Amino acid sequence: MSQPTTQTSALSVAHPHLPQTTEPRPSVQPLDLDWALDVAVNTSAVERRCATLPGRRSVKKDYQAAWLLKAITLIDLTTLAGDDTAGRVRRLCAKARQPVRPDLLDRLGMPGVTVGAVCVYHDMVETAVAALAGSGIPVAAVSTGFPAGLSPLDTRIEEIRRSVAAGAAEIDIVISRRHVLTGNWQALYDEMVAFREACGDAHVKAILATGELGTLRNVARASRICMLAGADFIKTSTGKEGVNATLPVSLTMIRAIRDYHARTGYRIGYKPAGGISKAKDALTYLALLREELGRRWLEPDLFRFGASSLLGDIERQLEHHVTGAYSAGFRHAMA
């Protein structure tokens, strides 16, 4: 991973939180199946590339602390449990405002760091919006029959509209995996276009549920279709599948984003979600993104981690950097 010359340059946090505020928003493009389906993925080559990444791209000491603080600004701090309560969401929002103990941030010279967004179910959107008022941190809502996406289409579209009306600035939708598995690309495109329209000014992240798509080629094709249909972000997983974010899936999706940028000029965001719980894993994902897409993608308008426990491990690593001692995990509770 390229090392910043100073901590401050690596930790530029004076950025807008809302996605795409410094980029033209991607518009819906005509469905070009010749381009969208003309993709091949060499699975063994992808796996070899990803297997070497953690060992080749390690950062230590001040550089590691700098990149971990950057990672915090890219987290969609998430709670999507069946036993979520208003109290839990308010506590999560308090953590989003102050993700690391103030004394540690002061020692690091980085006061004011916050996460990228808070992600909740629709019923908790109003609670989260109220708890984050004045912070500049947006609320993201999972929608469209999350996580299976098998509700009737009109119900899924109405769910989006209600979340936007409740104050959600970002909507994480789930695609119908059956359209990918049966090769019904027109249906996938039409569905995504309808979701984008229902979002209005809210930005839309398309969850592909890659663990259920069968092959990396299907992942690449679904990524291209969703980008053509107006997705602001493409996202790996709901976090509820048996297999969630992986480096091979991420490389496949990131290269789809690179191809789309070369074709249209639009920068599409990327969000790996599910299973990223360790600080060292976050560094590996940042290294992959930096190598494949460049420095511009290392900002919250173009990259997010879908995570909750990741923040606790990052805070623990930062405390070790400052004090030289590891603290117990329970000292860094999320909510």
Residues designated catalytic: 172, 235, 271
Among the listed residues 331, 321, 178, 172, the one whose alpha carbon sits nearest the alpha carbon of residue 237: 172
Rounded CA separation 77/116 (Å) = 8
Closest CA to 208 of 239, 163, 247: 239
> Angle between the 61-72 and 309-323 helix axes, to the nearest 10 degrees?
150
CB contact at 8 A, 252 and 220? yes
Q: Is the dihedral of CA 263, 169, 184, 215 positive or negative?
A: positive
Looking at the DSSP assignment, which residues form a beta bridge with residue 266? none
Question: In 244-301, which ranges are continuous DSSP H helix?
Answer: 247-264, 279-293
Strand residues in 137-228 grouped as ranges (E): 139-142, 170-174, 203-207
